[in-house]
Amino acid sequence: MKAALILANGGVFWGESIGSTADCVCEMVFNTSMTGYQEILTDPSYAGQGIVMSYPLIGNYGVNQEDNESRRPWAAALVVRRLTGRGSNFRCEGDLGTYLKQYDITGIQGVDTRALTRILRSEGTMNGMITCAEHFHIEDCLERIRSYRVEGAVEKVTRRAPQVYPAMGEQKLRAALMDYGVKENMIRCLQKRGCQVTVYPAHTPARTVLEGGFDGVMLSNGPGDPADNVELIREVRALYDSTLPLFAVCLGHQLLALATGARTRKMVFGHRGGNHPVKDLAAGRAYITSQNHGYVVTRDSVDPAVAEISHINVNEGSVEGLRYRRPDCFTVQFHPEASPGPQDTEYLFDRFVEMMARRREQRKGGAW
């Protein structure tokens, strides 16, 4: 079936429908990953967004349950140059086209994704609409497209009740994790380091967490504009004011920055892919990271008395991490849990676990 992708700037790309045939209006973003399309689709940070895969061949190894990063895909739409009709891999349990239909995700193939990516890079992330309608009025479509905004995304993707994940092997520590749109591998990274992980819904009061007897708290990734989450920012501030070790990633990193007086801004086209170079300023070395974000902490808004910049993006110098003056508190913009992407920065989980273990020992010794 013929389909059209209409951009907010009036541009139209024609192609073939894949997945659901329902009209879809969303924010169009591009991802430069060559693999990992299933993990990308199921990353809650993509809620309300249509993903343009810049790599031309998508779906070639199929899909399987093991690669899901959450209970379902959250991306609103998928745009590809070519969708492989059949997956070829020993782990394959189905094809991507059927997967899109199963979860009612609108998609389009046959689009010049290289040209589309160049537009989104030069003009910035913009809204778009995928439609299978044989006839449409472009002005009516543009009115719907331009009025769209990603709203209430965290509330949409977060879990409804706390969930406990046992440690893999011997349990050494207990960690709380705030679910703003958490990926499963973030939980696994703590589990395999001996942590029992209690995952809380996003709007859980800080008091509930602080009274839970945990050794540390992690703030997860998630979708949307961080500044929209006024209530969450207030609760994050309460966690910051405690003595618990804190580690935050992506949206959590932004929320903690806002809670301590810094500002965030929307980027022109964001960072989405598995090949973004980040420099650890203290170590003096660069790492290749997995990223998915459209907002960033503004460098000049970070109060040196509150935090110092610990990581920067090698390509354009944006803030990729903060080390807070408050003991045992650090945050990063990128995804150390990867999935998909390189695992170069998993050492940050080791750092967090060391902080929690040290605090537990201090409490045993009566230092608290």
Tokens of 85: 């009709």
3-state secondary structure of 273: strand
Give the C-alpha separation, 84 to 198, whole Å.
39
Tokens of 224: 């949307």
Give the C-alpha separation, 192 to 168, whole Å.
5
* DSSP character string of 179-240: ESS--HHHHHHHHTTTEEEEEEETT--HHHHHTTT-SEEEE----S-GGG-HHHHHHHHHHH
3-state secondary structure of 348: helix
Those residues with Cβ within 8 angstroms of residue 249's Cβ, 6 or more apart along the chain or in another chain: 186, 218, 219, 220, 221, 331, 332, 333, 334, 335, 336, 337
Q: Which candidate, 365, 350, 368, places its Cα nearest to that of 172? A: 350
Q: Would you name the residues annotated as active-site residues?
A: 250, 335, 337
